[in-house]
A and B are shown apart, each in its own frame.
Chain A
Amino acid sequence: AQTVTQSQPEMSVQEAETVTLSCTYDTSESNYYLFWYKQPPSRQMILVIRQEAYKQQNATENRFSVNFQKAAKSFSLKISDSQLGDTAMYFCAFISNSGYALNFGKGTSLLVTP
């Protein structure tokens, strides 16, 4: 079974600081895709960033970047210069090339404080 684990149920960071959210996954496959989704209080799911497993370069989207460690099966999200609008639930997700649906972690609730 392919599982996704987010070990930090809640985190807090001050505005303008940097925070890292952790995600590990378990798979025996070599080709897969990883995602971070953001769910703000509106509950609309928003794709933050994606990573293709066969690419060694870590994905970056503006203030969001990932640290993808394939051997360790780790996929952490770094948010730089945190803003109040980053307050949300963040979900890590995984799908393999042979998969049929995304597997999601249980989420990390991030609070950005002034």
Chain B
Amino acid sequence: DGGITQSPKYLFRKEGQNVTLSCEQNLNHDAMYWYRQDPGQGLRLIYYSQIVNDFQKGDIAEGYSVSREKKESFPLTVTSAQKNPTAFYLCASSMSGTAPYGYTFGSGTRLTVV
């Protein structure tokens, strides 16, 4: 079945560490997205990519980095520069960048700083 796979489901990070969240899709979608979800804040856009080898910053990109070397994959790295990384992270994809049919979402990764 086609879908988006996020891993791991839970991730713990020590202070000063970089961690990478995985997002893989087999839907043949061109566009992929990373959102951060905090209580009472809704979903806030971190990065998006409308095509392979190209990506753009979203509203809260500071302290994060991404790559899009393959159409299927859009990993997110949370760097030590992100001061408050504890949150729920959602990856999504759409057929095209205009997303007229909305997104397909992964099941999320819960990141906790310990």
The residues of A with any CB-CB pair to B shorter than 8 Å are 9, 33, 35, 37, 42-45, 47, 50, 52, 91, 93, 95, 97, 99-102, 104-107
Contact = CB atoms under 8 A, between A and B. Distances in A.
Given A50-B101, A106-B42, A43 B56 contact: no
A45 B99 contact: no
Interface residues of B, number: 25
Query: Chain A interface secondary structure, helix, strand, loop or mixed?
Result: loop
Nearest to B41: A106
Nearest to B58: A101
Interface in B22-48: 33, 35, 40-45, 48
A105 B37 CA distance: 11
Given A93-B102, A95-B99, A104-B44, 10 more contacts: A33-B100, A43-B107, A44-B105, A50-B101, A52-B100, A95-B98, A99-B99, A100-B97, A101-B33, A102-B103
Given A93-B102, A101-B33, A102-B103, A45 B40 contact: no
